Amino acid sequence: MALNSRKIAVAIGFLFLAVVPLIASAVDEAFYTDLFTRVMIFAIAALSLDLILGYGGLVSFGHAAYLGVGAYSVGILSYYGIDNGLVQFGVAILAAALVSLFIGAVSLRTSGIAFVMITLAFAQMLYFLAISVNVFGGDDGLSINGHSDFGELIDLTDMNTLYYFVFVILVFFTWFSSRFIKARFGMVLRGAKSNPRRMIALGFPIQRYQLTAFVISAAMCSVAGALLANQLLFVSPAIMTWERSGEIMIMVILGGVSSLFGPILGAAIYLVLEHELSALTSHWLVILGPLMILIVLFAKRGMFGLLKETGHG
């Protein structure tokens, strides 16, 4: 019963996302299309973090760095007149993979709080690097000349086309993550999370598995960064601050760790609450904070986890 309820909820959730532009058009509020484009972009980032946090037990507190790497890849290439979308997104993925390969190789030599602090330290290094490079705007950020060019087939200058482009990528990454965690690789990764000593005794080189998952997660997050750059047509170091990494982690925890749809739900709840509360008061964080505490206290498996609990009843 619980499993069926969750599948129905996932189907309804994706169906709702699929019709948001139609609803926005019907009520003549294009803003909602823009808002849920942002929701889906951060849902991809949250989903990528959940891949290593929920299933690998790797608490990365610098995940926004890869969001920034993806966004800056688009911005810098556009600055030099390279607008081809395949090139921009390809460079974003490759750059994030190389950066995360180095960071992961160093960070995975530690564990626990040391791992958290090292990932945070590397993310801050990239943040200060972005601030120091004045040719790309430094602390003021970099305006992007135009959207990624995918030819006549995909025109990202159109708000609805951009929305469905992000939607398709979100659906793909959700499917990919599902296949990933159910495959042998994912089972080893989960085994390393629950009992690393036993997995090592069985002959599995768990550090290699964790490093591979770390790189895949970063590459996914870089795609979210490239999409965010296309939505905003602007990129700044603020995209990779430790606060942004914390927000992505909150989205995962809020929706439900180790549940593929949980991070998507968490991103939607967080960003919609942020929008609605900030419209009421400039001190909206004072309201959001206690709400988050209540959710964590009474929904320990996240909001999506509540559905699982209800299903048993």
Give residue 1's pLDDT band: very low, low, confident or very high (50, 70, 90): very low
Give me the percent of the chain exceeding a pLDDT of 90: 66
**Beta carbons within 10 angstroms of residue 91's beta carbon:** 20
Please report, for the chain, how many H helices and E strands are present, in that order. Answer: 13, 2
Give residue 312's pLDDT band: very low, low, confident or very high (50, 70, 90): very low
Nearest Cα residue to 235 out of 145, 142, 99, 304: 142
**DSSP string spanning 105-163?**
HHHTTS-THHHHHHHHHHHHHHHHHHHH-GGGTGGG-EE-SS--B--SS--TTSHHHHH
The structural domains of the chain, with segments of one domain joined by +, span 31-240
Mean pLDDT of 213-240: 96
Distance CA 245, CA 228 (A): 15
Query: Which tops the pLDDT comparison, 301 or 53?
Result: 53
Mean pLDDT of 255-278: 88
Say whether pLDDT at 189 is over 60.
yes
E strand map for 215-283: 234-235
> pLDDT digit string (tens) for 202-215?
888 899 999 999 99
Mean pLDDT of 169-190: 93
36-40, 54-58, 157-161, range with the lowest pLDDT: 54-58
User: Measured in whole angstroms, how far is the alpha carbon of residue 77 from the centre of its chain?
Assistant: 22
Mean pLDDT of 82-103: 96
Mean pLDDT of 48-52: 94
Query: Which tops the pLDDT comparison, 277 or 122?
Result: 122
Say whether pLDDT at 56 is over 60.
yes
Say whether pLDDT at 199 is over 90.
no
Placement of tokens 């997995």 in the chain:
199
Predicted pLDDT of residue 302: 77
Say whether pLDDT at 41 is over 50.
yes
